[in-house]
Structure 1
């Protein structure tokens, strides 16, 4: 080998040793409706899970229907208030929620298409719930302090605030839906309640489950995770960490999307760059958002410790719709965010497998997206 050839080989070897900018290739993508923004609200739980149900409708019936996130938000606020007051203020009250809150609300109040109820005065208006939440909070706290007996109109006052900021609409309101099927029969009925509309979607709300992984609970048990936003005491199934990740991959491979509840407080979660990673070396935190670096190996024990010391919390919910791979073969989940298309990678975040192993609180999915061995172990 001549000197020139040796120099070329050494140059190539030295170059490949350096970090590289991310170059992603999509390896799996499941259809979802376009990215929308939750604006100035804490309603990611509704935006992510409604997006998930929209993808479920596409998967089940091929129908693309833009569902109203704010109808679910409005309905859930009713249950949050009742829960807070009847527990005498010893419960969570705020904008946060979890994916099962959407399922619970849909089961109780139904769902509606977004054009039928937008939850704001005009389509151009941005969502901003800061004043509304402050007023709602004052009402429920007053109801607890004075007791419902001394403040008998608290529910009416509460609903009046919702009406003012979000518009009047409830489970008895009618929506226009032409030529729909109810109980396998076509009807020309043009006016349906939200529950009647839900029946046309073919969504079976009992099919949706939540899985997670914590060493503090028995494997394959169904338990209530003690996190602040779990005001409804929703339960989830506990899996070994490797099996938790395997089921996410299996679901995606089979065409099922998932709702991701995760911590986004890490400096290596960047909605701006559309990247979420866990560097092996803390000194790489400043550069890993733009350059590929080695990521940390996440054990079940480390995951549990980070949750128990509050380094992992349920900050944000998003919608997993696929997988991508970088030029070094590292896999990431393609996650639909609710910060608008100007955020991240056209509204999406590519979340690494180590990040999900460490920071994912849970995922919701259709039970048929589970591996057979997992379904058998959970007796589903």
Structure 2
């Protein structure tokens, strides 16, 4: 074959490949758009349990889902306790958590996670140590934005702490924590020592005790892993567990048993999970575990994944452990389980409140199958009163 013919053939192949790829992309996008428009109409959810919860929030450009989800949980706990719910300040908890995280980062010579992320228990720990304030007292928007934007603050935080860890003076001065705190307060605002709420003066500690009225000792965190002893505490080995807190270990199916019992007893549940799965769609407000592997689906199957109820993969404890070991399950996101519903086929889904605003089909909520929760949960946090009696006995609580 001469040079001219080879070149012509190569151009033809490249052009055909590009056209085919373009056509396939257009087909997938077109199908996805059409299926997305009818996804909500393809599901009929009937609430079984729908516990009272507060308004949907938006965490903005910040990795603070852990604070939003657990503060929402505490607000529902206030309602369960017969108190009037207060819109609690997520950023007050975040501010204090970041200070504690910075201390830990320096103590560990930088060999621990920094960043925006955190864990469900961080909210309980900060509530116990620092108290809490209403949203109206501390918004964390100290630099002219309507929502959180943490990129610049996070970069400066890391720069300050990296300099401290390098220890250029060969001895740490007491001023580093002042400098680090000043960075956070420049963006989020200084924490109030006293404030007035409904005509009465409080400190964060007295507000937590007198108005919120929740006991930090009432809350328990639980997970499920085969490589840990059952019904005992272990350190949850995920990057956002910067405080190395311990959680209780139960069987995989007991995770959903616990959630079911909590909801039936009127208690909601804070939920940490992985949302990077193909079966999780924020836009459509659905999360499930497809029976068929995504890589094996054809274009039509992929585009219609959320077009009505679909069969799910049967999950085992070995599969759950393997996904965690392989980094397929990571501590991506925190949300708030507030109820239980069933679809038109009678299958049960948890009603989950998110903190990404009202930008999806269910105005800030989504429906998550029990299979997804068993497979992708990293931890749950709940009131001990919500535990089934047999689990309490096993955990010796």
Q: Provide the TM-score with structure 2 as the length reference.
A: 0.85
The answer to whether residue 45 in structure 2 is matched with residue 24 in structure 1 is: yes
Q: Which has the larger radius of gyration?
A: 2
Match of 1:176 in 2: 196
Match of 1:164 in 2: 186
Q: Would the alpha carbon gap of residues 150 and 252 (structure 1) be closer, same or farther in structure 2, given more than 3 Å must change?
A: closer
The answer to whether residue 226 in structure 2 is matched with residue 215 in structure 1 is: yes
Match of 2:98 in 1: 77
Name the structure where helix makes up a greater proportion of residues.
Answer: 2
Kindly report which structure 2 residues correspond to 1:116-131, keeping only aligned pairs within 5 A, or say none: 116-121=137-142, 125-131=146-152
Q: 2:357 aligns with which of 340, 345, 365?
A: 340
Q: Would the alpha carbon gap of residues 231 and 122 (structure 1) be closer, same or farther in structure 2, given more than 3 Å must change?
A: closer
SS at match of 1:334: strand
SS at match of 2:162: helix
Q: In structure 2, how many angstroms separate the alpha carbons of the residues matched to 1:205 and 1:91?
A: 26
How big is each residue's C-alpha offset from its partner over 1:243-298, in whole Å with a ceiling of 9 and x where there is no partner?
A: 22111111111111001100001122111111111011122554222222100111
SS at match of 2:352: strand
Q: Is the 8 A contact 2:48 2:340 kept in 1?
A: yes
Q: 1:108 aligns with which of 115, 129, 132?
A: 129
The answer to whether residue 118 in structure 2 is matched with residue 97 in structure 1 is: yes
The answer to whether residue 373 in structure 2 is matched with residue 356 in structure 1 is: yes
How big is each residue's C-alpha offset from its partner over 1:287-327, in whole Å with a ceiling of 9 and x where there is no partner?
A: 22222210011111111111111110110000000011110
Q: In structure 2, how many angstroms separate the alpha carbons of the residues matched to 1:368 and 1:361?
A: 21
Q: In structure 2, how many angstroms separate the alpha carbons of the residues matched to 1:150 and 1:220?
A: 42
Aligned residues: 350
Q: In structure 2, how many angstroms separate the alpha carbons of the residues matched to 1:353 and 1:218?
A: 23
Q: Would the alpha carbon gap of residues 285 and 379 (structure 1) be closer, same or farther in structure 2, given more than 3 Å must change?
A: farther
Match of 1:204 in 2: 215
Q: 1:372 aligns with which of 389, 393, 397?
A: 389
Q: In structure 2, how many angstroms separate the alpha carbons of the residues matched to 1:350 and 1:178?
A: 37
Q: In structure 1, how many angstroms separate the alpha carbons of the residues matched to 2:219 and 2:190?
A: 29
Q: Is the 8 A contact 1:52 1:257 kept in 2?
A: yes
Q: Is the 8 A contact 1:263 1:360 kept in 2?
A: yes
Q: In structure 2, how many angstroms separate the alpha carbons of the residues matched to 1:379 and 1:62?
A: 29
Q: In structure 2, how many angstroms separate the alpha carbons of the residues matched to 1:251 and 1:296?
A: 26
SS at match of 1:85: helix
The answer to whether residue 169 in structure 2 is matched with residue 144 in structure 1 is: no
SS at match of 1:116: coil
- Report deviation, 1:63: 0.9
Q: Would the alpha carbon gap of residues 147 and 298 (structure 1) be closer, same or farther in structure 2, given more than 3 Å must change?
A: farther
Q: 2:288 aligns with which of 274, 277, 294?
A: 277
- Report deviation, 1:41: 0.4
Q: Provide the TM-score with structure 1 as the length reference.
A: 0.89
Q: 2:323 aligns with which of 295, 306, 322?
A: 306
SS at match of 1:128: coil
Match of 1:86 in 2: 107
